[in-house]
Amino acid sequence: MPEAPPPRIGILGGTFDPVHVGHLVAAVNVRYEMALDRVLLVVANEPWQKLEARPVTPALDRLALVEAAVSSCPGVEASAIEIDRGGPSYTADTVEELEGRHPGAELYLVIGADVAGTLDTWERIDELRGRLHLVVVNRPGAVIVDPTQLKGWDLSVVEIPDLEISSTDLRDRAATGRPLDFLVPVEAIRLLRERSLYVVEE
C-alpha cells in the first residue's frame, strides 16, 4: 500500500478581533490554489504588535468567534495553539510546535500583501525562511511588496476578491448595533451578540 503524502497545512494567523468574511475568503482561496488539506486560523493569544495600540478582546472570546465562523467552512479550522501556549504570540514558536505535532508536514504561512514588507520585524523570522512556504494574499491590481524584500522565501502569490473590510469598523458597528450581515459570518454574529462583545459600557 503506497505511503500517504505528507499533509499540506496552511497557517493564517491573526488577532481576529473580530473574524470576518475576508479572513474566510483568504483561507478558502489559498486552500484551493495551493491544494492544501486544511488551513488553520491561528488565534493570537497576545498580539504583541497591537497590544499597545488598543485594547484587545479576550483571546477565548476571539477563539469562540472563529470556531463559530468556520463551523460550516470545510477545510478551515480554528486553532488555539497560541492561546494554549500562553504569553506573546510569535509565529516562529507556532511553526516549531506544528512541526512537532505533524512531522513531515508541508507548512504554508499565509500573510496579506499589506504585511509582507514588515516580515523582517517579526520575532526570529529568519528561522522560518527555507523551512516553509510563504503565501502572500493579494487583491486584484494591487502591487505587492518588492519580491527582493522576500528573498530566500519559497514564495507564492494568491489573488483574492477585493473586499475592503475594516475590523475597526466592525467593532464600531457591533458597539452601535449597526448591521454586520454579510461582513461577519452569521454564526459569529450570533455569538458576538450573545456575549455582548464590543459593547461599550456606559
Over the stretch 31-81, which tens digit does the pLDDT of each residue have? 999 999 999 999 999 987 665 667 899 999 999 999 999 999 999 999 999
How confident is the model over 104-125, as a mean pLDDT?
91
* The pLDDT value given to residue 201: 59
pLDDT for residue 144: 64
Q: Determine the average pLDDT of the residues in 89-109.
A: 96
Model confidence over 56-68: pLDDT tens digits?
A: 999 999 999 999 9
> The cell 478551515 sits on which residue?
76
Rounded to an integer, the average pLDDT of 67-96 is 96
Backbone angles phi, psi at 57, to 5 degrees: -60, 145
At residue 202, does pLDDT exceed 60?
no
On the question of pLDDT at 26 being above 80, the answer is yes
Predicted local distance difference test score (pLDDT) of residue 1 = 67
- For the chain, what is the mean pLDDT? 91
Per-domain residue ranges for the chain? 8-193
pLDDT at 51: 59
> Can you spell out the DSSP letters for 163-184?
----HHHHHHHHHHT---TTTS
**pLDDT class of 5 with cuts at 50, 70, 90:** confident
What is the Cα–Cα distance from 99 to 42, expressed in whole angstroms? 15
Whether 192 and 198 have beta carbons less than 8 Å apart is answered as yes
pTM exceeds 0.85? yes
Q: How many CA atoms lie within 13 A of 127 on its CB side?
A: 10
Cis amide linkage into residue 18, ω under 30° from 0:
yes
CATH code linked to domain 8-193? 3.40.50.620
What percentage of the chain carries pLDDT values higher than 70? 92
Q: How confident is the model at residue 164 (pLDDT cuts 50, 70, 90)?
A: confident
